[in-house]
Every structure is written in C-alpha cells, then in structure tokens.
Amino acid sequence: METYALELIRNGKRIDGRELTQFRDIEIKEGIIENAEGSAYVRMGNTQVIAGIKMGVGTPFPDTPNEGILSVNAEFTPLASPDFESGPPGENAIELARVVDRGIRESKSIEMEKLVIAPGEKVLSVFIDIYIIDNQGNLLDAAALAALSALLNTRIPKLDAEGKIIRGEHEGKLPVVHKPITVSVCKVGDKLFLDPAKEEETILDAKLSIAVMEDEKICAMQKQGSEGIEFDVLEKMVDLAMKKSMELRKLVK
Amino acid sequence: MGKKSDTELIIGGIRIDKRLPDQTREIKMKVGNILSANGSAEVSFGNTTALASVHGPRQLFPRHLQESQTGILRVRYNMAPFSVDERKSPGPDRRSTELSKVIRLALEPAVFLDDYPKVTVDGFVEIIQADGSTRVTGINALSLALATAGIPMKDLVAACSVGKINGTLVVDLNGEEDNNSESDVAVAMIPNRNLVTLLQMDGMLTKEELMHLLDLAKKTCKKIYEMQREALLEKYKGEE
Amino acid sequence: MKTREIVLPGDMIDERKGRKLGNGVYEEGDKVFSKFLGVPRVNENELSVIPLSGTYLPRFGDRVIGVIETVEVSGWFVDINSPYSAFLPLSEGVDEFVDLQRSELTRYYDVDDIILCKLSKVTKNKTVQASMRDFESRKLRNGVLLKVTPTKIPRIIGKEGSMIMMIKNKTACEIVTGQNGLVWIRGENKEKAIEAILTIEKESHTIGLTEKIEKMLNEDVKQDVNEQLSNPDSWVNKKISKHLSE
C-alpha cells in the first residue's frame, strides 16, 4: 500500500482521490466528557483524537509567580494502533505533546495572569491530556485542533473559601484569546502535501509542522522526518501552512 | 519557560555580553578526546559545552529492533546535573527525550546506514555546561564524533540558534537571551547541499522575520561547518 | 609533520569520467564525493577513499584472524572484530571425518582459541561464513593479539611486505596480520614489534614513516612502552587482548 501511495504522490495524486493540499473530512465535537472541565473530540478522516482538560490548584513556578500553569501530555494508547505499546509515553508521544504545548504557550492563547488565586502561592493549573483513539495519520494537526477546541469550551471550577476546587460547580470560562492552528506540511521529492493518511506517513521524506495565529504570526515550528528539506522550499511550506490555517480556523468555535 | 520581553537584553545594538546581533560567542572545537569511544568530540559556544561520543557500528540487541536491510542510528541527549543553575535531577526527562529524537533526525540524512544491516551506531551527547543553545552545540559535536568514528557520511552537519530579543534579530542565543527571547529558532544544515535537517521554532515571528532569521542561520551554519572541517584536519595534520 | 592529502566526508574527489567507484566514495551527478575522513586514491581506473578509522566490514575472500566465541552443534561462531560474527562450519574447520556421537567439537577449537581463516561467504545481509580449508589457515597458539584500525593493515604490511618483514627481522618475532585489523605476535621481543606497529597505526598518513620505524627498531624500546605493557590498565594493554572484548 505504501509504495502505491508513494507512486501516486509523485504524480500529484492521493490514494483517496484528494488534492495534494486538501484535508480529509473534519468533525469536531465539543464538551463530550462531562467530568472534564473542557473537552473535544476530533475526527480527521479516520484519525480520532480526544483532548480532555482538567483544572487543578498548584504552586506557580518561581520565575512566573503571577501566572497559572499549563501542562500538556499525550497518550498513544495501544488500542489506537498496533504500533503503540503500553507504558510511559515514548519519544513520539512526548514530541507531540511538547509541540502542541508550544503552539498554545508561545501564542499566549491562554491569559495565564488571570489564573492567579494568591500571587506567588496559589494558581490554577490547566492540564491538557491528548488521547489518540485511532491513528490513521496526521496526529499532530488533529491533536492541536482538539486541544484548542477543548480549551475554548473549558469552564473554570468554583473554589471554596480555602481555595480548594468544588467539583461540579463552575464560574466562567477559561480566558482564551487566540486560536493558533497547526498545519503539518509534508514533502515527497518536490511535491508538497497536507494531512497525510497513515500510508502516506511512512513514505514521506520530511514534514514541517507550523502553528499559525489569526494575525498570521508563526508561533511554533517543528521539522520531522528522516530526510532534509531543501532551504529554498521552506518558504513555500510556510506559505502553504499559513493559507490552510485560515480555512481550518473556521471550523473552531 | 517564563519568557519576559521586558528584560533589557540589547542596548544600543549591543548585547549584554558585548556581542553584535550577528556575532556568535567564542567557538571551540576538538576531536578524538575520548579514547574509549570509536569517535568523539567536544564543542563549546561560549559557556555551553557539549561532549559527544559514538560507539559503533556494533551489534544491536534485542534482535527484534534490528533492521535487516540497514543499520540504525540511536542518539541520547542528556544534561549533567551540574550543567545548569538549579541542579537538574539526573536521568532522562521529557525535554531530553524530545531532543534526543530531533538530534537523531538532524544527523540521519547525513549518515549512510545501508552499509551496515542489522547493526546500530550509538551517539551520545552530554551537556556538561549549559548556557543556551545546547541542542545545536550537541549536533555540532556529534557530527564531528561520527566522522572521527569512521561512520560513512554524506557530509558534516552544522547547527546554530537564531532568534529575536527586544525586537532585534540575533544569532547564537546564550542562556539569558534564550529565556527572555521573543522567539528562538534552532537550525541544522548540510551547508554544501543547502539542506535543512533540523528546524524548531517557538515564540512569535512574522513570516518576514522568520525568513530573515533562516538566512542568518544559513550563513552562520556555513561558518560553523568550516570550523568543523578545520578541527578534523587539525587533528590529523598537526599531531605531536 | 608532513601528511598525505586528507579528505573529509562530503569533499569532492573528482569527476567520475567513467571510472569504477571503489570503497569510501559516493556519486552525485557525475561528481564523486568522499564518505569518510581519510586518504583519497585516484587513478585512471578507480576512485576510492581509505578511512583513517572505522570498524571492519567483512568481505568475501578476506583473510582474517578470529577468536572462537561459542561452540555449536555443527560448528563454531567466531568473533572477527566486527559487529558481524562469522560461522565456521564443522566441514570447513576440520579435515577428518568427525563422528558427532563420539567427539566433542571443543577438541578441535575451543572458546578463546585464535584462528587464522578465510571468509568463504558474505551475503548482502552480512551473514558470514568462514573456512579453514586453505593451507595457510591454522590455529595460532600462544602469542598476543593486537587490535588496530583495519584500514591501516596494508601500511603495516608495507609495499610487497617490506614493512612487516623489517619488523619481523629486527624483532625475531612471528607476526601474522588479518585484514580485519587483528595482528598476532609471538616472540621474545614482542614489545618492540608492538611499539612499531602501534606507531604505524597512529602515523599511517604521514610521509617518512618507513625511515622512522627503521630507526625505532634499531633503538631500545622506549621506557614508557615497557611500563605500559606491565600496567594492566594501560591503553596499550587495552589494545592487546587474547580475548576480544566489546
């Protein structure tokens, strides 16, 4: 299947008949996990991802006493793919979590200063957990989309007099002011394409994932893949990501 | 990470450590310093020092990890507990796991692994002093170590960091600049082939700023590549 | 110290001009580049680069020195100083008929025995078979084993064997070299032979080496080499090994 996918892409076509720069069908469902403060399910073609957000109370980092805490974790659960093993996150799960984290953190999408309970002592923590349910390619873009959608419907839990969380009661929404969208641009020879399906992931030369904000600023980039990218192709990849991010952002409420 | 853009890092076009925006710190390179390894090197950029060594090609266990057609490259990036301000707990953490992966991918395009089926080439990067830009310093060192180990390579890989501090685009960020930058970008290249093998960015940049930084990185990588060549030739010409 | 020309990985050696590509080079377009830090060899027939360092990759027909690793049912696995082990089948190791019910294979070669053999088969997947059928192959008893960079062996042997003959004569030692970088030495004056061989390995790329080695062999062994030989932890002893370690 993979060699067939490779042949097709070299001729500008895809296995499922898509254009090179076309995304698969995307479905987003918000707030599907009741017990989570925020959540979203994303289906991108046959890839399925759930992002769940839990909030807690913690002590701020010493160098940012007036900011809440953001933590992103990803689980490549074995049920999602015969290639995923049980156990602690491997390098791919860790990389995905950290890249999604940077997209959100560097874009200052969450107003972290508004998450302070007692300056220097107590702040709110936002835990984003990304669960891969079905790996059919392009996990990063789907995960970033799920994380963003989940953040946009996250409610802040009510705190009691001692600053402890009262589960089940909420006051207000998490202040999210930007919508960074991540687009991974893939490359085979001189052909660039988007939203790789599972068979296409294994045959691509290189991938450049770019997180773009609504004002077209770039807030995160990560190159993946075992081949290099010619210097002069970089700008084309960035342009493609920027253009596509505008389209995808319309799907997010 | 705590990025504050209110810290004064650049005054009148001069950086806190007296450098100009497009100036790298003092770069030192030496090869073959670890006898027990097949190949080794030490590279420092100012106060950031990376040791790299290569063991292999050697047999890979367990067997099921072996690729029957080609060899594999494994890389472990690690920071010594004393390398940073606040002691870092020994052992791998999420950051070093990610960096191990990106460093491996930065060097893979340059190594001919199909000459060695069923076998592994193990590269180790230890940061013994950390003052910003550790991963690119590590890549520069590991590239040299692979060459001195006699691993067949397409070319050397050179790497550097670029970024934006107080609105100015700069080259080779030190620790303080890295922590307070508006953006930092890590780039690795095979300069003669114009090929980029590592590209990571965080912060906020317009597309124009990004392209400008990439040009700066390309020029700097070229300079670093020449130094790597010098370091290798030095070793075999001026002995004793 | 004057050296021969040295190239680095990625250096262009020459245009191919229809010539054969030997070891250590790769082609892009019509240009040929080096894969290694090493010494280029360019003549009208072939382009190649000899690396200054590196592990031994087994090749069909090579004469190598090996150390018996394990004794199996119908043969032995041999450590040939490479990430790839060689298998010496019973039929290739022993001439006479062996009744497996009655004899133990250890009778012929046991673990840690040193042998000189030939590589009779090397598949694309680097499965290696050794043979001792030719008359030069034999067990090498006693003596010590020195490990050097395999690509330096030709320099140690010298043009038509001139270098190794000189060392053998001046040290009255028996010396056998394997193309896999192992050198077996037996004799009273082996320290002198070791010193000479290790010097050649270190300075193989320099000019004027033959004269330097000749001079060295005429003098007494440097004090520190003797000291190093008596110190079990020294780097010289790490080079010498009767049992090859990882």
Would the pLDDT of B226 be above 50?
A: yes
Contact at CB, B150 and C125, closer than 8 angstroms: no
Contact at CB, B156 and C8, closer than 8 angstroms: yes
Contacts of A217 in chain B (CB under 8 A): 204-206
User: How far off is chain C from B52, nearest CA to CA, in Å?
Assistant: 17
Which residue among A63, A219, A222 places its CB closest to the CB of B200?
Answer: A222
Question: What residue ranges in C52-96 does DSSP mark as E strands?
Answer: 63-71, 75-79, 86-89
Contacts of B201 in chain A (CB under 8 A): 218, 220-222
In whole angstroms, give the CA distance from residue A96 to residue A86.
17
User: How far off is chain B from C161, nearest CA to CA, in Å?
Assistant: 25
In this prediction, residue B2 has a pLDDT band, given cuts at 50, 70 and 90, of: very low
How many Cα atoms sit within 13 Å of A216 on the Cβ side?
Answer: 10
Angle between helices C190-202 and C223-230 (to 10 degrees): 100
Residue C216's pLDDT is 85
Which residue among A217, A228, A238 places its CB closest to the CB of B195?
Answer: A228
CATH number at residue C197: 3.30.1370.10
Assigned domain for C244 exists: no
Assigned domain for C74 exists: yes
Tell me the percentage of chain A whose pLDDT exceeds 70. Answer: 100
The string of pLDDT tens digits covering residues B50-93 is 999 999 899 887 777 777 788 999 999 999 999 998 899 998 99
Question: What residue ranges in A106-237 does DSSP mark as E strands?
Answer: 116-118, 122-134, 155-159, 165-173, 181-188, 191-194, 206-212, 218-224, 229-230
In whole angstroms, give the CA distance from residue C235 to residue A106.
51
User: How far off is chain A from B207, nearest CA to CA, in Å?
Assistant: 7
- Chain A: partners with 3+ C-beta pairs within 8 Å: B
pTM score of the predicted model = 0.91
Which residue among B69, B151, B239 places its CB closest to the CB of C1?
Answer: B239
State the fold for domain B20-231: Ribosomal Protein S5; domain 2 (3.30.230)
In this prediction, residue C234 has a pLDDT band, given cuts at 50, 70 and 90, of: low
Tokens coding C170: 């001046």
Mean pLDDT over the full length of chain B:
92
Measure the CA dihedral B139/B144/B145/B148, to 10°: 160
Would the pLDDT of C182 be above 90?
A: yes
In whole angstroms, give the CA distance from residue A110 to residue A174.
7
Contacts of C8 in chain B (CB under 8 A): 147, 156, 229, 232-233
User: How far off is chain B from C97, nearest CA to CA, in Å?
Assistant: 34
Tell me the mean pLDDT in the region C171-180: 94
- Is the domain of C69 the same as that of C125? yes
User: How far off is chain C from B43, nearest CA to CA, in Å?
Assistant: 18
Which residue among C8, C83, C126 places its CB closest to the CB of B58?
Answer: C83
Contacts of B115 in chain C (CB under 8 A): 57
The string of pLDDT tens digits covering residues A98-153 is 999 999 999 999 999 999 998 999 999 999 999 999 999 999 999 999 999 999 99
Contact at CB, B105 and A226, closer than 8 angstroms: yes
- Is the domain of C150 the same as that of C208? yes
Residues 6+ apart with CB under 8 A from C86: C58, C64, C66, C77, C78, C80, C117, C119, C128, C129, C130
Residue C237's pLDDT is 64
Nearest to A190 by CA among A201, A206, A209: A206
Q: How far apart are the first and last CA of chain A?
A: 37
Closest chain B residue by Cα to residue C204 = B236
Type of residue at C160? E
Which residue among B116, B154, B240 places its CB closest to the CB of C10?
Answer: B154
Residue C204's pLDDT is 82
The string of pLDDT tens digits covering residues A18-47 is 999 999 999 999 999 988 999 999 999 999
How many Cα atoms sit within 13 Å of C182 on the Cβ side?
Answer: 26
Residue B13's pLDDT is 87
Are A211 and A221 in contact by the 8 Å Cβ rule? The answer is: yes
The residue range of the domain holding C47 is 12-51
- Chain C: partners with 3+ C-beta pairs within 8 Å: B
B-C contacts (CB, under 8 Å)? 87
Would the pLDDT of C227 be above 80?
A: no
**Mutation site for B-interface testing, chosen from A91, A183, A238 by largest number of B Cβ within 10 Å:** A91
In this prediction, residue A4 has a pLDDT band, given cuts at 50, 70 and 90, of: confident
Contacts of C53 in chain B (CB under 8 A): 38-39, 148-150
Which residue among B101, B207, B218 places its CB closest to the CB of A231?
Answer: B218
C-alpha radius of gyration, chain A, whole number:
19
Closest chain A residue by Cα to residue B100 = A91
Tell me the mean pLDDT in the region C59-82: 94
Which residue among B98, B105, B207 places its CB closest to the CB of A238?
Answer: B207
Assigned domain for C57 exists: no
Mean pLDDT over the full length of chain C:
88
Contacts of B236 in chain C (CB under 8 A): 3, 6, 37, 52, 205
Which residue among A94, A105, A238 places its CB closest to the CB of B94?
Answer: A94
Contacts of B185 in chain A (CB under 8 A): 221
Angle between helices B134-148 and B94-107 (to 10 degrees): 50
Residue C206's pLDDT is 82
The string of pLDDT tens digits covering residues C71-121 is 998 999 999 999 999 999 999 988 877 777 767 888 889 999 999 999 999
The residue range of the domain holding A100 is 2-249
Q: Which residue has the higher pLDDT, C102 or A96?
A: A96
In whole angstroms, give the CA distance from residue C205 to residue C203.
5
The string of pLDDT tens digits covering residues B7-56 is 788 888 899 999 999 999 999 999 999 888 999 999 999 999 999 999 98
In this prediction, residue B190 has a pLDDT band, given cuts at 50, 70 and 90, of: very high
Q: Which residue has the higher pLDDT, A140 or A253?
A: A140
- Is the domain of C128 the same as that of C153? no
Nearest to A75 by CA among A53, A62, A61, A92: A92
Contacts of B238 in chain C (CB under 8 A): 1
| Chain B residues with at least one Cβ partner in C under 8 Å | 35, 38-39, 56-59, 68-69, 110, 112, 115-119, 147-156, 190, 192, 229, 232-233, 236-240
Tell me the mean pLDDT in the region B110-114: 93
Measure the CA dihedral A211/A213/A218/A223, to 10°: 10
Which residue among B68, B117, B155 places its CB closest to the CB of C10?
Answer: B155
Are B176 and B15 in contact by the 8 Å Cβ rule? The answer is: no
Residue C75's pLDDT is 93
Would the pLDDT of C238 be above 70?
A: no
Q: How many domains does chain A have?
A: 1
Contacts of B56 in chain C (CB under 8 A): 55, 83
CATH number at residue C45: 2.40.50.100
The string of pLDDT tens digits covering residues B197-215 is 999 999 999 999 999 999 9
CATH number at residue A67: 3.30.230.70
Residue B240's pLDDT is 30
The string of pLDDT tens digits covering residues C11-32 is 999 999 999 999 999 999 989 9
Closest chain B residue by Cα to residue A96 = B98
User: How far off is chain B from C202, nearest CA to CA, in Å?
Assistant: 10
Tell me the mean pLDDT in the region C220-231: 67
Closest chain C residue by Cα to residue B115 = C57
Are C168 and C161 in contact by the 8 Å Cβ rule? The answer is: no
Which residue among B59, B156, B238 places its CB closest to the CB of C83?
Answer: B59
A-B contacts (CB, under 8 Å)? 102
Are B171 and B160 in contact by the 8 Å Cβ rule? The answer is: yes
CB neighbours (10 Å) of residue B208?
A: 8
Domain ranges within chain B, ordered by starting residue: 20-231
The string of pLDDT tens digits covering residues C120-170 is 999 988 999 999 999 999 999 988 899 999 999 999 999 899 999 999 999
Contacts of B156 in chain C (CB under 8 A): 8-10
Residues 6+ apart with CB under 8 A from B174: B17, B25, B46, B47, B48, B131, B132, B133
In whole angstroms, give the CA distance from residue C126 to residue B160.
38
Type of residue at A230? E
What are the C-alpha distances in Å from C19 to residues A27, C41, C47, C50, C84?
A: 59, 12, 7, 17, 31
Closest chain A residue by Cα to residue B190 = A228
Contacts of A95 in chain B (CB under 8 A): 97-98, 101-102
Assigned domain for C201 exists: yes
Peptide bond before residue B57 is cis, with ω within 30 degrees of 0 = yes
Assigned domain for C158 exists: yes
ipTM above 0.85, yes or no: yes
CATH number at residue C95: 2.40.50.140
Contact at CB, B152 and C36, closer than 8 angstroms: yes
User: How far off is chain B from A49, nearest CA to CA, in Å?
Assistant: 21
Contact at CB, A221 and B197, closer than 8 angstroms: no
Residue C221's pLDDT is 67
Contacts of A67 in chain B (CB under 8 A): 2
Would the pLDDT of A6 be above 70?
A: yes
Tokens coding C112: 């840690």
Residue B239's pLDDT is 43
**DSSP run (H or E) holding C126:** none
- Is the domain of C149 the same as that of C74? no
Nearest to B187 by CA among B224, B149, B148: B224
Are B190 and B155 in contact by the 8 Å Cβ rule? The answer is: yes
